[in-house]
Structure 1
């Protein structure tokens, strides 16, 4: 179990830490506001860029159609000659 002095000491340390962090938070908030103001000024000062023009569409190449050829008729395979028995 902690003594009253130890608890009091830890409480003091926590309060110090909180005060320090609050100062940091305030400082950070101020720097954020400054940066946002700079960004706003930069956006208004910068000339708006025009959108790039698209290249004209290319013409499609003309593909020649292949001539229609007749399919060969299916032919039967010739049987190999039967072997003679000796």
Structure 2
């Protein structure tokens, strides 16, 4: 957000400085990358272009911040889900060991086999939950990257349109 504010303020100063010197110069390089003669129409088009580009950059920053926030929440949820799954598995392990310890000496082998099976099932269940949690977090990360890319493309489109408007104004 600080970068966006800095860009907006720099654009404001650049625009005001450009507007003050436009009457005395014959050509001008705009902040959006186009060199044109400094006429009243060009100055007006440049001013509009700077405003449009600043708005687009602000929207892009908001989309990026929102996407980052979603991604952070998804990762935190995945970590929490994984910890829960591991905790449940460890509890089942402890229960199984307790059952083995309580078993009669002649039934101990059966109890150990049953406990190992119970622990293996608990491990499988925990692994599945962990994998699903990671997959959800990755899906959110991909969606965030998509949203950011679309926002950047929209900003680039606004910049191109702004350059075209400035050139159109210069051609008049």
User: Could you tell me the TM-score, scaled by structure 1's length?
Assistant: 0.51
Q: Which residue of 2 is the match for residue 25 of structure 1?
A: 61
Q: How many residues in Structure 1 have an aligned counterpart in Structure 2?
A: 48
Structural RMSD (CA)? 1.3
Q: Which residue of 1 is the match for residue 51 of structure 2?
A: 15
Structure in which a larger fraction of residues adopt helix? 2
- The 1-side partners of 2:40 and 2:66 are apart by 39
Q: Deviation digits for residues 26-81 of structure 1, max 9, x if unmatched?
A: 01100100000000011111146xxxxxxxxxxxxxxxxxxxxxxxxxxxxxxxxx
Structure (1 or 2) with the larger CA radius of gyration: 1
Q: Which residue of 2 is the match for residue 4 of structure 1?
A: 40
Task: Give ranges in structure 1 of 5+ residues lacking alignment.
Answer: 49-86
Task: Give ranges in structure 2 of 5+ residues lacking alignment.
Answer: 1-25, 27-37, 87-172
Q: Which has the higher contact order (CA 8 A, sep 6+)?
A: 2
Alignment of 1:1-86 (within 5 A): 1=26, 2-47=38-83
Query: After TM superposition, where is structure 1 displaced by more than 6 Å over at least 4 residues in a row?
Result: none
